[in-house]
Each structure stands twice: as C-alpha cells, then as structure tokens.
C-alpha cells in the first residue's frame, strides 16, 4: 500500500482564511479538509453535505455518517469524531500530514499515536493565497467602494454637525464616537458588509493605536476613522483610515498631517516587486524623524511612530506581506495598505 503526504485543516471557514480560500465554502462549524496532490476532499456533518456538494469547489465531499457505520460497535461514542478521521485518512492512503500552526494539539498527539507523521507549516499554509488573481482584486475593489460610500456618509454627518462649546451636535443631539460608528456599520451592513470594531476616536484617543474611541466628538481636534469591513458574500476585506478635523486644526496637527503625507508619498514611490517591506518602513521612519517626529522610549514606553507602515489585504484584514521590521518582500499580485 502506497501512502502519500497531504495537507490537513480542521477549522471553521468563517474564521480560517486558508480553509475558505481552498474551498470557497462558508460553514459555521469546524470540518476537515484534506488536499492530496491535486485533489481536495471534505469530511463534514450530514447537515452540511447538500450545501457543500453545491457550493464547495472541491473534488469530493464525504460525510461522517458514512464512516460511523463502519466503526466497531464497542467503540466509545466520545471517540467517534477521531475514529472517523482515522478511517477517512486511511481510506485516502495518507500517513504523512502537514498541518497549520493552529491545528488542535490533542488531535495532533492522537494522530501521532496512531502512526501518522505530522509536520507544521512554518509560513503561510497556502503561499499562493497572498498573490491575488484578477477576480480577487475585483472583490477587494468592491469592498473598497462600499467603505468609500459609508465614509462619505460619515463625512456628511460631520459637515452638517454644529459646534457648540467643546462638543459637536447633529440633529440637536451631541455627536459621539458611538453614534458615528453605529451609522457607519449599519450602512455597510445594508450594502452586504460586516464591520466590527470600527474606529472613531477623537483627541488623545487617536494616539492609542486601535482604540475604537468613545464619548463626545470634539471640535478642533483630530478624529480618526478606521473602517475595515468584510464582504458577507466573498469574504474579502477593505481597509480605509482617514484623519479629519471639524473646525480648525492646530499648527501642531497640521505639521503632523504634512509629515504623514510626505512619508506616505515616499513609501508609495518605493512600491515594486522585490522590495523588502522593511526598507519601505525604514524610509517612512526616517522621513518622520526628518520632519521632527522621533520614535523613542519614554519611561519604558514607546513614543512616536510605533505602528507598522502597512500590511497585506485579502481574506484577512492583516496578512503578509508586512511593511515593517521583518523579511517580507513585495511580489507582483500582492494587495497592500500604506
């Protein structure tokens, strides 16, 4: 009997980008995926069988009940899921497996006890997923158009708001981060996109990376809006961040804005296949320092530009390549943020 090496994933495709990319099948519950050579096989519950047959872009779909009927009657019911997996792999003449880094630890140990050889993938499980096809780029563009529309509506609210003392008012009510975030996320939902943890932060909150923001929005202070929705249909993300001011921006804030704009333009000028992300990031850091914004430590805490310059975008909001310290190089077909 000749055994072959295969890739194995056990997860839900709602949260595992590799699994969805390989199958184009959304399922809320975990299921098994095997890739052996050019074949892709699913093992899942009877509940999902019909939908998987119609939707999944795979070679074959098998059900747990098919294998359950072959188990010995004296097997303990709690062992059925693992026993079914072993039968499934042996049917496919698989003995050696490559699994992702987040593969369930107990299942890996049990497979080894049954004679299977397991290795963990050191890098991306499907490196080709990072190189976007024309069709994938179109899906990302659709997501970007949706987020642009929602951002435009958020700007309309800010434009129509009125300054009263140290607060903004819209339609007679104090305008808050929570209100504007809710409006953005509801608009995206109506377009078929899910947006979670949208950032609408104001004033000092804007200096805390990924602070979603809370409380009243203030005039004459920076308001950061960071929206990163996912298409409910295709699974592809968009990512848009903008800084705005309602009222008058201070000279210090204008200086920051121009420094960021300059560094962004210099970064954009370096984007090409083969360039290390770290080189682009270093250019941005140097430009910001030249403009008077140094990155250092103060009382043990990092100060200044402590964020990366950019990242890949696709079925994950943050995926390789990284434009920061690290070895990643840009390749033709990457979609990145700056």
pLDDT tens across 233-242, in order? 999 999 999 9
**Domain range 4-127, CATH architecture:** 3-Layer(aba) Sandwich (3.40)
Domain 250-338 in the same topology as domain 4-127:
no
Instruction: Retrieve residue 289's tokens.
Output: 């320092």
Report the C-alpha gap between 75 and 65 in whole angstroms: 15
For domain 250-338, say whether CATH 1.20.58.1610 is its number: no
pLDDT by residue (tens digit) across 252-308?
A: 999 999 999 999 999 999 999 999 999 999 999 999 999 999 988 888 888 889 999
Report the C-alpha gap between 312 and 335 in whole angstroms: 6
Measured between alpha carbons, how far is residue 323 from residues 80, 277, 280 in Å? 45, 4, 7
2: pLDDT strictly greater than 70 = no
Q: Which CATH class is domain 131-249?
A: alpha beta
Tell me the percentage of the chain whose pLDDT exceeds 70.
Answer: 96
How do the domains of the chain map onto residue ranges?
Answer: 4-127, 131-249, 250-338
Asked if residue 178 has a cis previous peptide bond (ω within 30° of 0), the answer is: no
Measured between alpha carbons, how far is residue 32 from residues 29, 45, 72, 119, 125 in Å? 10, 10, 22, 17, 15
Instruction: Retrieve residue 76's tokens.
Output: 């303990």
């Amino acid at each position: 009997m000749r055994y072959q090496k295969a890739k194995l994933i056990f997860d839900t495709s709602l949260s595992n980008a590799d699994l969805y990319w390989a199958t184009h099948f959304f399922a809320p519950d975990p299921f098994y995926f095997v890739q052996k050579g050019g074949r892709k096989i699913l093992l899942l519950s009877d509940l999902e069988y019909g939908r998987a047959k119609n939707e999944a872009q795979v070679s074959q779909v098998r059900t747990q009940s098919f294998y359950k009927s072959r188990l010995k009657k004296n097997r303990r019911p709690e062992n059925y899921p693992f026993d079914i997996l072993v039968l499934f792999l042996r049917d496919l003449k698989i003995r050696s497996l490559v699994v992702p880094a987040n593969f369930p630890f107990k299942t890996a140990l049990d497979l080894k006890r049954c004679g299977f050889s397991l290795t963990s993938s050191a890098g991306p499980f499907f490196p080709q997923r990072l190189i976007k096809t024309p069709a994938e780029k179109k899906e990302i563009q659709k997501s970007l158009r949706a987020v642009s529309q929602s951002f435009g509506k958020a700007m309309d609210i800010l434009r129509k708001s009125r300054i009263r003392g140290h607060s903004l008012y819209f339609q007679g009510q104090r305008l808050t981060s929570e209100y504007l975030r809710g409006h953005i996320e509801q608009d995206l939902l109506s377009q078929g996109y899910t947006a979670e943890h949208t950032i609408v932060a104001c004033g000092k909150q804007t200096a805390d990376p990924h602070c979603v923001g809370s409380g009243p929005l203030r005039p004459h202070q920076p308001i950061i809006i960071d929206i990163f929705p996912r298409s409910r249909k295709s699974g592809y993300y968009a990512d848009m961040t903008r800084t705005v001011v309602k009222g008058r921006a201070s000279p210090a804030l204008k200086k920051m804005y121009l420094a960021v704009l300059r560094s962004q333009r210099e970064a954009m000028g370096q984007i090409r296949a083969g360039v290390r992300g770290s080189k682009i990031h270093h250019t941005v850091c140097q430009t910001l320092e030249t403009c008077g914004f140094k990155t250092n430590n103060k009382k043990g805490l990092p100060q200044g530009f402590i964020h990366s310059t950019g990242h890949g975008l696709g079925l994950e909001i943050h995926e390789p390549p990284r434009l920061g310290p690290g070895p990643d190089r840009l390749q033709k077909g990457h979609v990145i943020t700056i």
